[in-house]
Amino acid sequence: MAYSFQITSPDAYKLAYEKSVMDPQGFWADIAQNFFWRKKWDKVLEWNFKEPRIEWFRGGKLNITENCLDRHLGTIGNKPAFIWEPNDDETDARILSYRNLHFKVMQFANVLKNNGVRKGDRVIIYMGMVPELAIAVLACARIGAIHSVVFGGFSAQSIADRLHDSQAAYIITQDGSLRGNKTVPLKDIIDDALVQCPFVRKCIVLTQARIPVSMIKGRDVWWEDEIKKVESQGNPDCPAEEMDAEDPLFILYTSGSTGKPKGVVHTVGGYMVYTAYSFVNVFQYRPEDIHFCTADIGWITGHSYIIYGPLLAGATSLIFAGIPTYPDAGRLWDVVAKHKVSILYTAPTAIRSLMGYGEAPFEGKDLSSLRVLGTVGEPINEEAWHWYKKHAGADKLPVVDTWWQTETGGVLISNLAGITPEKPGYATLPLPGVQPVLMDENGKELEGNDVSGNLCIKFPWPGMLRTTYGDHERCRTTYFSTYDNLYFTGDGAYRDENGMYRITGRVDDVLNVSGHRIGTAEVENAINMHHGVVESAVVGYPHEVKGQGIYAYIVLENPDDTHLSEQDIMKTVTRLIGAIARPDKLQFVPDLPKTRSGKIMRRILRKIAEGETANLGDTTTLLNPEVVEQIITGRL
Ligand code: WT7
């Protein structure tokens, strides 16, 4: 299907942008009309950033799965909704048509109902990249249960934290997932988490890796058995639950600058309108496209641009279970050639890591199906941008550099493929409906061009977060209290002489490691939990492939303790958060540089980690200036 809101020329972009600022409500109402609402909204927008209170399409009734699935059956029922490419290149790919997917979603929605899941219940999904993960997500949405997908790389402790925070009584997982040459024992990890979570009533387990798992009677059930039960009940139908536009659709946990990850909440109506709008426009979607987003569904990118955005547009979306370097570094190009991928959306980290393998992996691969390239997740250096454009794009395909966040639901700043201009290293211009501003440290807006500041957004857009689960005050303080009446992104940005934005990176204590968001405080808490550690400070440093690496400075109780090895501390971090949070460098230091009031001077530690030891600024006000020299001497 084609949406009338697709922007097809630079002038149309300008017009749409102007309308979206002059008359935001009219602008979004026109777009929202393209969807199926059981009942139309009473009011397009109600908002204030003080509380914050953000309501889009209030009074509207709908179910997002009717828009993703049912609505398409009459026209594109036989079109592939998902193509699944497995981890290895020998297992057959699987294709799920819209009709097929609709059937399977209803079937599994009935499984959820049989197991007691009701509207508003939270369901934690901990799976690998199998089609059943998307089916589980959509089945939750079908019955109005709130899904919270946890990335398969997180530890048992992280899952337990999320179970507690969301008070989720239901889990969907699988025995083990296959990734590269590893099998991740997902059910085992869930079992470790469940020791702390007696409130969990049901755990539904899909078989994939066929590894042995423990199944507790009454609590754990097999996906396949439950499907059989539904089949024997005879009625394959599962009518969609009628949802209010502002009912929560999902929670996705993400790291911040303090403490535990927070549960970002997205709601049904606004998220639907925004993901579809941004998908169609950024990638300039065409009905014949094969869209391949390499992200994991455990992150927002997978939610918005593997599942919801593409399905809302009636697109064919490719789910890839593997990794770019398995069985070799040509795998992405094999997948592109095999499935005639036309849109490839990946992360700068993946590009940089493939750059290391040179041109050989491209040999003999037919990439002529590609039409649009995209990147997301971190700033892309110009070298990687050019390499991507040259090797994947034959130096002619448009590259979209899409800036957004878990909290924004969809892309906010990006060029529109082939329509608005691109510029290496720049996310370029805001989408219609998005009003970015740059602020200085004193709360003053930086007007005009050729300025750098903290990136904020001054007007709501339908895809924005509504709250952080169970703690609205945290949502307010994190995003809406730094600057009056603005949403603060946590990113710094430069606006060039033409008004184009370049995102320079986080200005808070959040790291971006291989496109994964990790809070320094979270890593410090984990390190500090380790026996014999007095305190620690974690900072980021530039890393050639990962974008940022994790540098940990650690003070030990007894520096001669032979039982304390780097590996032990790494293990603690892996247990408490997951392997993605393991420091790349661990330096044991006698003390941390502190101000007289006892505050750790991170600025100095960051500079040392970056190798800028000559330029540390004034250290005389430190309580312990002598440690700085010692830290520099021991630098890794
Ligand atoms: C942070 C959000 C949005 C999906 C993946 C990450 C950084 C994201 C870009 C980009 C420069 C980017 C920002 C942002 N980021 N896209 N195109 N250029 N930086 O989602 O985990 O919520 O992380 O990723 O720092 O704040 P996330």
Q: Which two tokens stand for residue 190?
A: 């869930």
Tens digits of per-residue pLDDT, 575-586?
A: 999 999 999 999
Q: What is the DSSP letter of 633?
A: H
427 lines ligand 1 (CB under 6 A): yes
506 lines ligand 1 (CB under 6 A): yes
Tens digits of per-residue pLDDT, 313-343?
A: 999 999 999 999 999 999 999 999 999 999 9
Residue closest by Cα to atom 6 of ligand 1? 377
**How many angstroms from the chain centroid is the CA of residue 577?**
17
Identify the helix (H) or strand (E) that includes residue 134.
helix 131-143
Within a 10 A sphere around the Cβ of 474, how many other Cβ atoms?
Answer: 17
- Is the pLDDT at 1 greater than 70? The verdict is no
Q: How many angstroms separate the CA atoms of 18 and 27, rounded? A: 10
428 lines ligand 1 (CB under 6 A): no
Residue closest by Cα to atom 21 of ligand 1? 517
Give the atom of ligand 1 at the shortest distance from the alpha carbon of 413: 17
Ligand 1: distance of its center to the CA of 506 in Å? Answer: 9
Check if CATH label 3.40.640.10 holds for domain 97-241: no
Taking the alpha carbons at both ends of the chain, their separation in whole angstroms is 55
Ligand 1: distance of its center to the CA of 402 in Å? Answer: 8
Q: At what angle do helices 98-114 and 131-143 cross, to 10 degrees?
A: 60
Average pLDDT over residues 161-179: 97
pLDDT at 98: 98
Tens digits of per-residue pLDDT, 528-584?
A: 999 999 999 999 999 999 999 999 999 999 888 767 788 999 999 999 999 999 999
pLDDT at 65: 98
pLDDT at 152: 94
Average pLDDT over residues 513-517: 90
pLDDT at 207: 97
Give the atom of ligand 1 at the shortest distance from the alpha carbon of 379: 11
Q: Which two tokens stand for residue 523?
A: 């890593």
Tens digits of per-residue pLDDT, 211-249?
A: 999 999 999 999 999 999 999 999 889 999 999 999 999
Ligand 1: distance of its center to the CA of 492 in Å? Answer: 11
Hey, what amino acid is at 538?
Answer: V
- Is the pLDDT at 444 greater than 90? The verdict is yes
How distant, in Å, are the alpha carbons of 273, 297, 308 from that of 620? 55, 49, 54
301 lines ligand 1 (CB under 6 A): yes
296 lines ligand 1 (CB under 6 A): no
Q: Which two tokens stand for residue 247?
A: 């009912």
CB 614 within 8 A of CB 580: no
Give the atom of ligand 1 at the shortest distance from the alpha carbon of 515: 6
Q: What is the mean pLDDT of the chain?
A: 96
CB 628 within 8 A of CB 621: no
- Is the pLDDT at 257 greater than 90? The verdict is no
Residue closest by Cα to atom 11 of ligand 1? 379
Ligand 1: distance of its center to the CA of 440 in Å? Answer: 21
Ligand 1: distance of its center to the CA of 495 in Å? Answer: 17
- Is the pLDDT at 275 greater than 80? The verdict is yes
Ligand 1: distance of its center to the CA of 273 in Å? Answer: 21
To test ligand 1's pocket by mutation, which of 149, 403, 520 has the most ligand atoms within 8 angstroms of CB? 403
300 lines ligand 1 (CB under 6 A): yes
Ligand 1: distance of its center to the CA of 501 in Å? Answer: 14
Residue closest by Cα to atom 19 of ligand 1? 378
Residue 515 banded pLDDT, cuts 50, 70, 90: confident
SS3 for 432-490, per residue?
Answer: CCCCEEEECCCCCEECCCCEEEEEEECCCCCCCCCEECCCHHHHHHHHHCCCCCCEEEE
SS3 for 333-379, per residue?
Answer: HHHHHHHCCCEEEECHHHHHHHHCCCCHHHCCCCCCCCCEEEEECCC
488 lines ligand 1 (CB under 6 A): no
Ligand 1: distance of its center to the CA of 568 in Å? Answer: 31
490 lines ligand 1 (CB under 6 A): yes
Provide φ and ψ at 166, rounded to 5°.
-95, -5
Tens digits of per-residue pLDDT, 32-49?
A: 999 999 999 999 999 999
To test ligand 1's pocket by mutation, which of 345, 512, 514 has the most ligand atoms within 8 angstroms of CB? 512
Ligand 1: distance of its center to the CA of 515 in Å? Answer: 7
Give the atom of ligand 1 at the shortest distance from the alpha carbon of 411: 3
- Is the pLDDT at 394 greater than 90? The verdict is yes
Q: Where are the domains of the chain?
A: 97-241, 513-633
pLDDT at 258: 78
425 lines ligand 1 (CB under 6 A): no
pTM (whole model) above 0.75? yes
Ligand 1: distance of its center to the CA of 376 in Å? Answer: 6
Average pLDDT over residues 56-76: 98
Ligand 1: distance of its center to the CA of 405 in Å? Answer: 5
Ligand 1: distance of its center to the CA of 404 in Å? Answer: 5
Residue closest by Cα to atom 2 of ligand 1? 405
Tens digits of per-residue pLDDT, 276-319?
A: 999 999 999 999 999 999 999 999 999 999 999 999 999 999 99
Tens digits of per-residue pLDDT, 181-221?
A: 999 999 999 999 999 999 999 999 999 999 999 999 999 99
- Domain 513-633, CATH among 2.30.40.10, 3.30.300.30, 3.40.50.10710, 3.30.365.10: 3.30.300.30
Residue closest by Cα to atom 17 of ligand 1? 403
401 lines ligand 1 (CB under 6 A): yes
Greatest extent of the chain over all pairs of C-alpha atoms, in Å: 78
pLDDT at 386: 98
